[in-house]
Amino acid sequence: MAHRLLLYAAAALAVLLIAAAPLLAYDVPDKIVIERPANYEKLNSWVTKVNFTHGAHAIRVSCNQCHHKESDKTLGKFVPCTQCHKSDDPTDESGFYRAWHSDGPPSCLGCHTLMRSKGGKNPVGCTSACHKPR
């Protein structure tokens, strides 16, 4: 019985180490603030920033799930969201707003909705998940 318990503990430790390996390779911030660019006038003005638990997400999701255009040049470096998501038009599929609010992954809302449909408890409401009213 003790051997079996030790084997399970070793297997669990191995899984944790494998899952954490990408985090050990880069300095991954625990929390980041995603700010709506001031000149993006077409976006809702009540949302100015989102406090994002980057570290908690990085443990559960591979980097390229969100950073889907990552390349060897940018891997492990900070690249502002607006570097790729330049448009302030909320209907532009590659714009700043749609990066977070598209129907499927890699957007935040899309991923949370998908995981919730599979029985998860991921928050999907605007003010319960990301946006706290001022």
Half-sphere exposure of 2 (CA within 13 A, CB side): 0
pLDDT of residue 134: 61
Q: In sequence order, what are the residues at sequence separation of 6 or more whose Cβ sits closer than 8 angstroms to the Cβ of residue 104? A: 110, 111, 114
- What pLDDT, in 10s, does the model give residues 47-77? 778 889 999 998 888 888 888 887 777 777 7
**Cα gap 24→110, rounded to integer Å:** 27
Candidate from 10-14, 37-41, 120-124 with smallest mean pLDDT: 10-14
Query: Would you mind telling me the total number of residues written for the chain in this entry?
Result: 134
Fold (topology level) of 27-130: Cytochrome C3 (3.90.10)
Asked whether the beta carbons of 92 and 98 are under 8 A apart, the reply is: yes
Candidate from 53-57, 112-116, 130-134 with smallest mean pLDDT: 130-134
pLDDT of residue 24: 53
pTM of the model: 0.68
Q: Is the pLDDT assigned to residue 19 strictly greater than 70?
A: no
Mean pLDDT of the chain: 81
Which own/partner contact pairs does 77-81 have at CB distance under 8 Å and 24+ positions apart? 81/34
Mean pLDDT, range 94-100, rounded to an integer: 90
- What pLDDT, in 10s, does the model give residues 33-51? 988 888 887 777 777 788 8
**Domains of the chain by residue range:** 27-130
